[in-house]
Each structure stands twice: as structure tokens, then as C-alpha cells.
Amino acid sequence: MDRLVIRGGRRLKGEVQISGAKNAALPIMASTILSQGKHNIKDVPHLRDVMTMGKLLANLGAGFHIHNNETIIDCDRIKNFEAPYDLVKTMRASVLVLCPLVARFGRAKVSLPGGCAIGARPINLHLMGLEKMGAKIQLESGYVIAKATRLKGASIYFDTITVTGTENLMMAAVLAKGTTILENAAREPEVVDLANCLIKMGARINGAGSSVIEIEGVDELKPIANYSIIPDRIESGTFMAVAGITGGDLVLKNCIPEHLDAVIMKLKDAGVVFKETKKGLRVIGPEKLIARDAKTIPYPGFPTDMQAQFMAMMTVAKGTSIIKETVFENRFMHVAELKRMGADINIEGGTATVKGVERLKGAPVMATDLRASASLVVAALCAKGETIIHRIYHLDRGYERMDEKLRQIGADIERLTS
């Protein structure tokens, strides 16, 4: 398994090209099931998870290939309606094919995703909504089997705000008979990107980005023609953390600051300086970060996907930071590894108390999930000495060429392939 070797202590300077958003690309790729014909999507990032979604679509009978910056998906010949366990277990977002399959073909057999490192991650709300729209749902040997002649519009209230739950049911509703209302819907920019793409396919959607989304079903949709995925706000946030912790000076190209208001405000409070320039968003790290508290909540609050990277910054900030994780029940897997590097962190339930230390020390550490691995990279870039990060396939799931991008801005980093 590949590992990264990082020698910390350098102030990173230069330009970083932010890639397309993984969490927008995955639902948009799944949405191609909703319409026959050849779909053309631009700026899809080259990531493990994207390749897994491509494999899943190919397994259904779709054609999938990437040509330069275009991802071409052809859903004319879908003849299989099953998302098998061996694919779904590697990527929970596979559940996003469930509703498009039922919406267009009236049937689907999708493996239950099972839990992951950060939590149980049930899909009960996805199934609740689908049932309300008239689907017959059975659970059998770890699979969801869903059937419907034609889905019908319904009013659906999410007890918990769910990003892929909102996306899945939006895709169920676009071909349903009648109107669907999604209440307490997720407001993430990736939900809006999916809605904008569906509207270009002919869907009738109002309110995406707010907590009430109204979808009026249509009889059919046309293929995606040249839709460009939004930039990845979490990759942008991760490089902001890199600038902050190394006292660096980076220009993030292809970043949408409005998607990161909560993160930018928090980092400004911690001493990071932001300047909008013609080339992109300039991010300048201070000599010493100031400890600040953070609490993760659904968008537009501070994102759970930035909690681990922010914690890495706080391990060397001046003062004590209280970080509350409210979205997932077990998203502190990075803490034990950061402590191996000399961080002073105590956990009580969903709250971590981080006392800033003078400097971290390089050590062999292990990635456990996508954002935990990003947190270890951020920490290693400022640690004294050498850090070896094992199991970086977790990082490759969500960051395109991370080691190359870091090397280009001056990091002493090497990927060892075994």
C-alpha cells in the first residue's frame, strides 16, 4: 500500500489549482441513469471514488470513459439494476444509484452500505422517502430491494439533515408523477450543483440551497450536455489549513469563497489573512495561529468535512480550542494519530479539547478515513522531522494528485509505492 513521506517545517508558497468537487461529481454521475443518451460532464476530478462510481455504472450496463477533461457516460443500454456489496462497501455514495434506478426503471437492488470509520451512517431516511413516493421496499440479506410502477410525488420531512438523502430523493422526484416537497433538506453547494444539472436536463426544481425544495415531476429528461462540476470547497479548505499551519502564502485558483464562509471566518479569527486577487483567493498564514473553538453543523455552518483539518491547525495554536463534532458519532479517528505526533488532545463524547503545543514531531502514522488522512498531511507539513503516513488510499479517494500539488508549492513530500 502506498505511503507518503513528509518532512515538515517549510512555509509553502505558490498557486494551487482546485479540482472539481467529489461530492458534486458523485451524485451528478448517478443522475445520468435518469436519462438515455450520451452525457458529457466536465471537471470531474480523477479520484478513486469517481472510478468506483464509474465501475458501478458500467456494472449496470452504462458506458463510462474519461477523455481529457470530459467524463462521458452513456445510459442507453442499462440492463442490470443491482449495486453489489463488493462495490458499495468501498464507497457509501454508491447508494446514490438507488433512486435514479427506481425512478427510470421501476426497480433496484442495492447493497446496504454498512457503517464506516466515522459512524453507522444508516440510510433509513432515503428509504422512508422512497416508500412515501410509492416504492415497495424489502431488506434481504444485506440488500435493499425497491420496486415501483411509477413513483408519485409526496411531502417528505427529514428528521435529520442528510446530504445524499436529499440528493437521492431529489432524483426520485424528477420523474415522479406529481409534485414532491423535501423539507429540512440539505443546503450544501453540492446539492445545488446536482439540482442545477438536473434542471439543465429538463427537471423542474425550485428551492435548492434552501431547506424546502419543490420538485415537479416530468415524463422524461434529456442527457447532460457539457455541465461543469463546481470546485471542491473541502479541498480549498484543506489548502487554507495548509497555508495557515505552515505560515505559508498560497493562491487558490478555481475556488468559490462563498462556499466557505464559515471556514474563512473561523480561520480569519485564528489569524489567517485572505485576499481576493485576479488569479484566485490568496491565503496567508500567521507566525502563530490563535486557538479558536469550532462546532460542526450542516451547511452553511462549519463543515464536518473540515473538522479534522482544523483540529490539526489547533494542535500548534496559541491557547486551547474546544471542537464539537455534531454530525457524525465517531469522527475523531485522527486524534490518536495526531497524539503520536505530540498533540495534546482530550476527547469526551463528541467534544475534543486541544491544547496548543509549541511544535509537533514527525512520526509514523496511519490514515483511517478520507479527512483524517488530510488532517495528518496538514500536521506533518509543520511537524519537526519526518512523518510517514500509511494507507493513503484513503487520501486518494477524495484528493486529486495531493502530493504533486503540495510539491509544487514547496513541500518536501514523497509518495512511496509498495
Binding site residue list for phosphoenolpyruvate: 22-23
- Asked if residue 300 binds ligand EPZ (CB under 6 A), the reply is no
Site for ligand EPZ in 190-249 (CB under 6 A): none
Any contact of residue 264 with ligand EPZ (CB under 6 A)? no
Q: What values do phi and psi take at 379, rounded to 5?
A: -65, -45
Cβ-based nearer residue to ligand EPZ, 9 or 119: 119
Binding region: 22-23, 92, 305, 327
CB of 124 to ligand EPZ, least distance (A): 5
Instruction: Return the H-helix or E-strand segment holding 377.
Output: helix 370-380
Please, are residues 321 and 356 in contact by the beta-carbon 8 Å criterion?
yes
How far is it, in rounded angstroms, from Cα 104 to Cα 124? 21
3-state secondary structure of 256: coil
* Using rule CB under 6 A, residue 23 touches ligand EPZ: yes
Decide if 309 contacts 332 (C-beta within 8 A): no
How many CB atoms neighbour CB 30 within 10 A?
28
Which residue from 119, 139, 404, 416 is in contact with ligand EPZ, where contact means CB under 6 A? 119
Residue 278 CB contacts under 8 Å (≥ 6 apart), including other chains: none
Which of 305, 325, 337, 403 binds ligand EPZ (CB under 6 A)? It is 305
**Binder among 19, 35, 164, 373 for ligand EPZ (CB under 6 A):** 164
Q: Which is nearer to ligand EPZ, 238 or 246 (CB)?
A: 238
By the rule CB under 6 A, 162 interacts with ligand EPZ: yes
Cα 373 to Cα 370: distance, rounded to the nearest angstrom: 5
User: Torsion angle, CA of 208/202/167/27, rounded to 10 degrees?
Assistant: -120
CB of 29 to ligand EPZ, least distance (A): 11
Name the one range near ligand EPZ by CB under 6 A: 80-88, 120-128, 194-202, 408-416: 120-128
Dihedral sign, CA of 381, 47, 229, 157?
Answer: negative
Q: Which of 371, 390, 394, 405 binds ligand EPZ (CB under 6 A)?
A: 371
Distance CA 19, CA 23 (A): 12
Nearest approach in angstroms of CB 164 to ligand EPZ is 3
User: What are the C-alpha distances in Å from 80 to residues 49, 149, 348, 355?
Assistant: 21, 17, 47, 53
Q: Which is nearer to ligand EPZ, 104 or 126 (CB)?
A: 126
328 binds ligand EPZ (CB under 6 A): yes
Close Cβ partners of 258 (under 8 Å, ≥ 6 residues apart): none
Closest to ligand EPZ by CB, 165 or 244:
165
Q: Are 137 and 144 in contact (CB under 8 A)?
A: yes
Which of residues 234 and 317 has its CB atom nearest to ligand EPZ in the complex? 234
**Pick from 21, 62, 370, 383: which binds ligand EPZ (CB under 6 A)?**
370
Q: Which of 121, 204, 318, 355 binds ligand EPZ (CB under 6 A)?
A: 121
**Number of CB atoms found within 10 A of residue 276's CB:** 10
Q: Crossing angle of helices 163-173/189-200, nearest 10°?
A: 10
Smallest gap, in angstroms, from Cβ of residue 189 to ligand EPZ?
Answer: 11
CA distance 235 to 270: 19
Which of 296/387 has CB closer to ligand EPZ?
296
**Smallest separation, CB 13 to ligand EPZ (Å):** 27
Closest distance of CB 202 from ligand EPZ, Å: 24
What does each C-alpha distance from 49 to 73, 194, 236, 240, 394 come to in angstroms?
16, 17, 18, 23, 10
Q: How many residues belong to the site for ligand EPZ (CB under 6 A)?
A: 24
To ligand EPZ, the closest distance from the beta carbon of 121 in angstroms equals 5
Residue 26-65 contact track with ligand EPZ, rule CB under 6 A, x = bound: x---------------------------------------
Q: Does 304 bind ligand EPZ (CB under 6 A)?
A: yes
Instruction: Output the DSSP codes for 287-332.
Output: SSPBP--EEE-STTSB-GGGHHHHHHHHTTSBSEEEEEE-S-TT--
Stretch that binds ligand EPZ, among 20-28, 67-75, 103-111, 260-268 (CB under 6 A): 20-28
Length of the chain: 418
Helices 307-314, 333-340: axis angle to 10 degrees equals: 30
Find the DSSP H helices in 174-260: 189-200, 233-246
- For residue 197, indicate whether it is catalytic: no
Q: Applying CB under 6 A, which residues contact ligand EPZ? A: 22-23, 26, 92-93, 119, 121-126, 160, 162-165, 304-305, 327-328, 370-371, 398
Q: Which residues are catalytic?
A: 116
